[in-house]
Structure 1
Amino acid sequence: MKVLILGAAGQIAGLLRDHLLKETNDSLVLYARNAHQRLTMKDETREKIVEGDFLDEEALKEALTGVDVVYLNDMGNTEAVKTVIKAMKASQVKRFIGASILGIYDEVGGAFREWNQAMIGSSPRMQAQKDSAKAVENSDLDYTLLRLTWLYNEEGNENYSLTQKGEDFIGAQVTREAVARLIVDILGDTSDQFIGKSLGVSEPGTDWEKPSFY
């Protein structure tokens, strides 16, 4: 399988890259702004580094050559997401996994809802995430959206729990390591159970008023 990682210099993308190189035979296309300054080749036989912008449709189409799956590390720019969708359609690539954020369906409840609303609820970033998710859901892509709760790092902690669209979001935090593991699990799944799904992603046992690191 050939995987295009858009935003490959990000933290989750870096963890995902390491897992895929270690645990699979997948080939990787690592796409990012100033990619050659921010990324170092780890396996010349399986990796390709591409410099480009998410708004550059031609660069995206070139990077999509031979690709089976696209992972987008940030859906905070709606026009960029629409450009990615357009490039994927032109390249006849259907499988898409995108990292979004919690709250795009007003699915967070309780005291955590109040805290989350105060932090990001009315921000331009939240609206962009809502619009980006809608664009993906209205496309004909075989998508999986990941609605991530508040992120932190903890080596070795790959525990995640999932909620479905329409269910209350549960969980105030999750590690980037767990998110990377989830993406690996989704990429390795052959049952199509994740296609057309928008998944709330959190750490089990963190149904709190706010993340522990705030």
Structure 2
Amino acid sequence: MKILILGAAGQISRMLTNELRNKTDHSIVLYARNGIKRLTTVDDSREVIFDGDFKSKDKLVDAMKNVDLVYINDMGDDESTKTIIDAMHDTGVRRVIAASVLGIYDEVPGAFGEWNKRMIGGSPRMRSQIESARKLENSNLDYTLLRLTWLYNQAGNTNYLITQKGEPFKGAQVTRQAVTQLIMDIIEEKSAKYHKNSLGVGEPGTDWSKPSFY
């Protein structure tokens, strides 16, 4: 399999790259702004770096050649999301896993939901996340949308909890390591096949009024 990581300099993207390097034989395309300066390859026979941003359709199309799956690390700009979708349509790439945020459907209940709204609910970035999700869900692509709760790092903690679209969101926090594990599970199909689905991603046992690190 050939996997394109868009936003490859991000923390989750870097973790995902390392997991793919160490645990699979998949080819990896790393795409990031100033990617040549910010990223390095380990095995040039299966890794390549592309410089570009999410609004450069020609560069995206070039990076998508012979790709089987795209991972989008950030959907905070809906025009960029549209460009990515258009490039996928042009190249015939259909499978995409995309990282979004909790609250895009007003699905977070209780005190945590109110706290989350105060923190990010009215921001322009949230409005772009909502529009990005809408565009992806209406794109006819084979998508998995990941609605991530508040993120932190904890080595070895790969525990995640999934909620479906239409269900109340659970979990005030989740580790980037757990999100990486979920993406790997979806890629390798070790968990259920969440194709054309929007998944809430939290950590078990963290149904609190806010994350522990706030």
TM range (shorter): over 0.9
Aligned positions of 1:19-168 closer than 5 A: 19-168=19-168
- Whether the 8 Å contact between 2:185 and 2:191 is mirrored in structure 1 is no
For residues 158-196 of structure 1, the C-alpha deviation after alignment (integer angstroms, 9 at most, x for no partner) is: 000100000000100000000000000000118872111
Structure 2 unaligned residues grouped into runs of 5+:
none
For residues 30-75 of structure 1, the C-alpha deviation after alignment (integer angstroms, 9 at most, x for no partner) is: 0000001110111111100000110011100000001000000000
How many residues of Structure 1 are paired with residues of Structure 2 in the alignment?
214
What CA distance in whole angstroms lies between the structure 1 residues aligned with 2:10 and 2:46?
A: 19
1:178 alignment partner, SS class? helix
What CA distance in whole angstroms lies between the structure 1 residues aligned with 2:190 and 2:177?
A: 22
Equivalent residue letter for 1:45? S
Equivalent residue letter for 2:37? Q
1:128 alignment partner, SS class? helix
What CA distance in whole angstroms lies between the structure 1 residues aligned with 2:17 and 2:96?
A: 16
What CA distance in whole angstroms lies between the structure 2 residues aligned with 1:20 and 1:40?
A: 14
What CA distance in whole angstroms lies between the structure 1 residues aligned with 2:42 and 2:179?
A: 22
What CA distance in whole angstroms lies between the structure 2 residues aligned with 1:149 and 1:161?
A: 11
Q: Does 1:174 align with 2:174?
A: yes
What CA distance in whole angstroms lies between the structure 2 residues aligned with 1:25 and 1:192?
A: 22
TM normalised by structure 1 equals 0.98
Aligned to 2:8: 8
For residues 61-112 of structure 1, the C-alpha deviation after alignment (integer angstroms, 9 at most, x for no partner) is: 0000010000000000000000000000000000010000000000000000
Deviates more, 1:198-207 or 1:36-45: 36-45
List structure 1 segments (4+ residues) > 3 angstroms apart after TM superposition: none
Structure 1 unaligned residues grouped into runs of 5+:
none
TM normalised by structure 2 equals 0.98
RMSD: 1.0
Deviates more, 1:191-200 or 1:105-114: 191-200
Deviates more, 1:129-138 or 1:184-193: 184-193
Equivalent residue letter for 2:162? L
What CA distance in whole angstroms lies between the structure 1 residues aligned with 2:132 and 2:89?
A: 16
What CA distance in whole angstroms lies between the structure 2 residues aligned with 1:109 and 1:191?
A: 26
Equivalent residue letter for 2:136? V
> In the TM superposition, what is the alpha-carbon distance from 1:199 to its structure 2 partner?
0.2
